[in-house]
C-alpha cells in the first residue's frame, strides 16, 4: 500500500518522497505546483514506485487506497503566503478536510505539517508544545498562522470525532537543497546573494533569532513521527534548537560561500516578524528518539553547492 505525500513536489515534500522510496515504500505525490517545482521530482518519475498527480487539493482528492497521508501542501515562505493568502487559507482548511475525509474512508494514518508560526511572536522561550502562542488573527502573517492553527484544530477534531489516527508536526525553519532560490526565505536569499556577489539583505537590525534545521534531519523526524504508535493524537516540535541571530547567519553564509558581498540592512519583507524562535525538542527526543544530527556548517555546504549548480543552470539558459 502507498503513502500519499500532499505537497510532494515542494522543498521538504520532495525529500520526503525520496526517503520513502529509498525505504521501499510506494509514493503517490499530489501537487498543483503552486509553489513547488517539477524539477524537484523529475528524478523520481522513472521509479515504478512513484506516481505524480497534478491536482489542486482545494478541489478535492480522488478515492485512492493509501495507508499513510502526509499533508505538507501549503505555501510556506512569508513572501509566498502573503502573495497567496486565499490559497494558503484554503489548502490548510478545505485541503486538510479533503485529506482527512480520505483518511476516514481508507483508515489511513494522517500527519499534518504545521509550523512554529502557530506560536506567533512568542513570549515563551524556547517554545514547548504546551505554549499557546502570541498570534494576531488579522496581522500580516495571519493567513498562514491562523490557517495552520485551523488545520491543527481540524486534524484533532477528526481524531476525536472520526477516530482518525493523526499526528501533528510543528516544523521550525528548515533549509537545504531543492528549496526554491526565489522564494524569499533567509537561506535561499542569503546564499544566492553571497554566490552572485550581491548585497546580503538583512531585514531589521538582524538581532531577531531563528534555529535552522537541515532538511534530512527534519524528514527523519517526520518519518519517525508517522511510524510511532505512541505519537497518535500528539503534537510534536521538529526543529534544530541551535539558535542564532539573522545577522550571524548572514556572516556565516557569506564566509561559507567564500563571498565578499556587503551586508545591508533594510525593512522587513513581511510584518510581525517573530523576534525569537527556538524549539524545545524534549518531546521529540522522548517520544521518537529523534534529534537533529547535521551541523550547520555541513548542511550549509551542501545547500551552497546546490544553489551554485542552480545558478549555473540559469546562466546556461540565458
Ligand atoms: P513548498 O512551498 O516548497 O512546498 C509546498 C508544496 O505544496 C508545493 O509543492 C506546492 O505546489 C504544494 N501545494 C500548495 N498548495 C497546493 C494545493 N492547493 N494543492 C496541491 N498542492 C499544493 O514548502 P516547504 O518549505 O516544502 O513546506 C512544506 C510544508 O511544511 C508546508 O505545509 C509548510 O507550511 C510546512 N513548514 C515548512 C517550514 C520550512 O522551513 N520549510 C517551516 C514550517 C512549516
Ligand atoms: N530575513 C532577512 N533577509 C532576507 C530573508 C529573511 O533578514 O533576505 C529574515 C526574516 O526577516 C526573518 C528571518 O530572516 O527574521 C527568517 O525569515 P524566513 O523568511 O526564512 O522565515 P520565517 O522564519 O520568517 O518564516
Q: What pLDDT is recorded for position 314? A: 80
Q: What pLDDT is recorded for position 315? A: 80
The model's pTM is 0.98
Q: What residue owns the CA closest to ligand 1's atom 23?
A: 76
Task: Give the whole-angstrom CA distance, residue 54 versus residue 9.
Answer: 10
Counting DSSP H helices and E strands in the chain, the numbers are 9, 13
Residue 119 belongs to some domain of the structure: yes
Residue 95: give its domain's CATH number. Answer: 3.40.50.720
Confirm or reject: Cβ of 247 under 6 Å from ligand 2: no
Task: Give the whole-angstrom CA distance, residue 84 versus residue 71.
Answer: 18
CA nearest to 294, candidates 218, 225, 223, 227: 218
Residue of 79, 121, 203 with the most ligand 2 atoms within 8 Å of its CB, for mutation: 203
Q: Cell numbers of 228, please?
A: 510511532
**Nearest ligand to the CA atom of 38:** 1
Task: Give the whole-angstrom CA distance, residue 26 versus residue 1.
Answer: 7
DSSP, collapsed to helix, strand or coil, labels residue 256 as helix
Q: What pLDDT is recorded for position 312? A: 85
CA nearest to 11, candidates 75, 64, 69: 75
Residue 214: C-alpha distances to residues 198, 229, 241 (Å): 25, 25, 12
202 Cα: distance to centroid of ligand 1 (angstroms): 24
200 Cα: distance to centroid of ligand 2 (angstroms): 12
Active-site hit among 70, 144, 175, 249: 144
Residue 302 belongs to some domain of the structure: no
Residue of 4, 8, 10 with the most ligand 1 atoms within 8 Å of its CB, for mutation: 10
Residue 20 domain boundaries: 2-174+215-238
Residue 7 belongs to some domain of the structure: yes
Residue 144 belongs to some domain of the structure: yes
Task: Give the whole-angstrom CA distance, residue 69 versus residue 5.
Answer: 6
Residue 270 belongs to some domain of the structure: no
Residue 243 belongs to some domain of the structure: no
Distance of CA 289 to the CA centre of its chain: 21
Residue 54 belongs to some domain of the structure: yes
6 Cα: distance to centroid of ligand 1 (angstroms): 9
Confirm or reject: Cβ of 203 under 6 Å from ligand 2: yes
Q: What pLDDT is recorded for position 318? A: 61
Confirm or reject: Cβ of 33 under 6 Å from ligand 2: no
- Atom index in ligand 2 nearest the CA of residue 202 equals 7
Average pLDDT along the chain, 318 residues, taken 10 residues at a time: 96 98 98 98 97 98 96 98 98 98 98 98 98 98 98 98 98 98 96 98 98 98 98 98 98 98 97 97 98 98 97 77
**Nearest ligand to the CA atom of 93:** 1
81 Cα: distance to centroid of ligand 1 (angstroms): 10
Taking CB atoms and a 6 Å cutoff, what residues make up the pocket around ligand 1? 7, 9-13, 30-36, 56-58, 72-76, 87, 91, 95, 113, 115, 171, 173-174
φ/ψ of 30, rounded to 5, equals -110, 125
**Nearest ligand to the CA atom of 276:** 2
Tally of structural domains, the chain: 1
Tell me, what DSSP letter sits at residue 139?
Answer: S
Instruction: Tell me whether residue 144 is one of the annotated catalytic residues.
Output: yes
262 Cα: distance to centroid of ligand 1 (angstroms): 31
Q: What pLDDT is recorded for position 1? A: 82
Residue 316 belongs to some domain of the structure: no
Amino acid at each position: 500500500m502507498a503513502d500519499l505525500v500532499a505537497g510532494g513536489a515542494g522543498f521538504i515534500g520532495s525529500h520526503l518522497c525520496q526517503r520513502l522510496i529509498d525505504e521501499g515504500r510506494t509514493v503517490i505525490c499530489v501537487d498543483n505546483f503552486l509553489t513547488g517545482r517539477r524539477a524537484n521530482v523529475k528524478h523520481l518519475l522513472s521509479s515504478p514506485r512513484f506516481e505524480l498527480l497534478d491536482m489542486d487539493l482545494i478541489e478535492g482528492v480522488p478515492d485512492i487506497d493509501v495507508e499513510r497521508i502526509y499533508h505538507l501542501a501549503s505555501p510556506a515562505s512569508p513572501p509566498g503566503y502573503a502573495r497567496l493568502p486565499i490559497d494558503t487559507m484554503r489548502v490548510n482548511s478545505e485541503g486538510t478536510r479533503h485529506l482527512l475525509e480520505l483518511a476516514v474512508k481508507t483508515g489511513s494514518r494522517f500527519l499534518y505539517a504545521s509550523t512554529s508560526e502557530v506560536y506567533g511572536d512568542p513570549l515563551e522561550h524556547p517554545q514547548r508544545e504546551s505554549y499557546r502562542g502570541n498570534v494576531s488573527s488579522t496581522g500580516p502573517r495571519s493567513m498562514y498562522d491562523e490557517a495552520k492553527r485551523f488545520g491543527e484544530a481540524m486534524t484533532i477534531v477528526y481524531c476525536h470525532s472520526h477516530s482518525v489516527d493523526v499526528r501533528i508536526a510543528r516544523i521550525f525553519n528548515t533549509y537545504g537543497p531543492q528549496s526554491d532560490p526565489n522564494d524569499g526565505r533567509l537561506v535561499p536569499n542569503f546564499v544566492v546573494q553571497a554566490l552572485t556577489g550581491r548585497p546580503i539583505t538583512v531585514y531589521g537590525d538582524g538581532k531577531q533569532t531563528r534555529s535552522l534545521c537541515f532538511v534530512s534531519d527534519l524528514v527523519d523526524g517526520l518519518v519517525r513521527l508517522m511510524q510511532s504508535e505512541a505519537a497518535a493524537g500528539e503534537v510534536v516540535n521538529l526543529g534544530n534548537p541551535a539558535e542564532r541571530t539573522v545577522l550571524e547567519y548572514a556572516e556565516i553564509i557569506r564566509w561559507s560561500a567564500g563571498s565578499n558581498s556587503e551586508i545591508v540592512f533594510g525593512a522587513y519583507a513581511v510584518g510581525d516578524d517573530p523576534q525569537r524562535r527556538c524549539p524545545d525538542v524534549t518531546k521529540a527526543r522522548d517520544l521518537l528518539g529523534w534529534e537533529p544530527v547535521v551541523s550547520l556548517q555541513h548542511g550549509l555546504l551542501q545547500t551552497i553547492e546546490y544553489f551554485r549548480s542552480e545558478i549555473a543552470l540559469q546562466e546556461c539558459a540565458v
